[in-house]
Chains A and B, each alone.
Chain A
Amino acid sequence: NAGVMQNPRHLVRRRGQEARLRCSPMKGHSHVYWYRQLPEEGLKFMVYLQKENIIDESGMPKERFSAEFPKEGPSILRIQQVVRGDSAAYFCASSRSPRGSDTQYFGPGTRLTVL
C-alpha cells in the first residue's frame, strides 16, 4: 500500500514563475493537509482540504498561494509569481478521518528553490 506521494521531489523556479506541487494521499484517505518547512524549523500548517472543499486555509498567505483537491486526481498547491522567500520544503499529509480523530501521514516533500 503506497504512502502519501508528492511530486516533483525537487523544483527549481526563477522569480516570477509559477510553482505547482502535487500530492496524492494514501489510498482510502480523503483529507489532505499542506505544510511548509523552512531550514532548521518545524512544519507550519498552511491548508486543510477535503475532496472539492477547502476546510481551513488559515495558514495560507493571502496572495499568490492557492490549493485545490479535485474530485479526481491529486491535490495541487499552486504558488504564483514565486519569490526567493518561497524557497522551502512543502509537505503534504493525509488522514482517513477528519483531523483530530486520526493520525496524519506525511509524504516525502517537495523542495522548492527559487533563484
Chain B
Amino acid sequence: GESVGLHLPTLSVQEGDNSIINCAYSNSASDYFIWYKQESGKGPQFIIDIRSNMDKRQGQRVTVLLNKTVKHLSLQIAATQPGDSAVYFCAEFGRSGGSNYKLTFGKGTLLTVNP
C-alpha cells in the first residue's frame, strides 16, 4: 500500500550545526508535502510545505527539497538551536487507491540538539 516513511528515526546534532531530516514517499500522485514539528506533549506544528510542481522551497532557517524522481523529501534546518529539538514528521497530501484525499503521516524523526 501507499506509505510515507523516514530513513532515520533519530538524529543528534550540535547546536549551530545544520540538520537534514529525510523522508521517502511512495504515492507519486501526491499533491503536496508538509513538514510538521511535534514537541513533547503538544500537537504537530506546521513548519513548511511544498507543492508537487516545485523542487525547493525556503522558509526562515528551513528549506524543503523535493526529488520526485526518487520520491524523496528532505528538511534542512540551518544553525540548529536547542529549541529545534522535537519529533519531525513528513506528511503527504493526496489520494491513494481511489480513496478520498487525505493527509498521510510518516513515523517521525527525533531530533536532539546538544548544547
Binding site for B on A (CB under 8 A): 4, 6, 33, 35, 40-45, 48, 55-56, 58-59, 91, 93, 99-100, 103-109
Give 1 or 0 for each of B46-65: 1 = CB within 8 Å of chain A CB: 10010000000000000000
Contact A108 B43 (CB under 8 A): yes
Among residues of A, the one whose C-beta sits closest to the C-beta of B46 is: A103
A44 and B103 alpha carbons, distance in the complex (Å)? 8
Cβ–Cβ < 8 Å partners of A105 in chain B: 46
Comparing B13-21, B78-86, B94-102, the segment that makes contact with chain A is: B94-102
Q: How many inter-chain residue pairs (CB < 8 Å) link A and B?
A: 59
A60 and B36 alpha carbons, distance in the complex (Å)? 23
Binding site for A on B (CB under 8 A): 4, 31, 34, 36, 41-46, 49, 89, 91, 93, 99-108
Contact B93 A100 (CB under 8 A): yes
Contact A104 B49 (CB under 8 A): no
What are 29 A-B residue pairs whose CB atoms fall within 8 Å in the complex? Answer: A35-B105, A41-B108, A42-B4, A42-B106, A42-B107, A42-B108, A43-B91, A44-B105, A45-B102, A48-B100, A55-B100, A58-B99, A58-B100, A91-B43, A99-B93, A99-B101, A99-B102, A100-B31, A100-B93, A100-B101, A103-B46, A103-B49, A104-B46, A105-B46, A106-B43, A106-B45, A108-B42, A108-B43, A109-B43
Cβ–Cβ < 8 Å partners of B101 in chain A: 99-100
Cβ–Cβ < 8 Å partners of B103 in chain A: 33, 43, 45, 99, 104
A93 and B91 alpha carbons, distance in the complex (Å)? 14
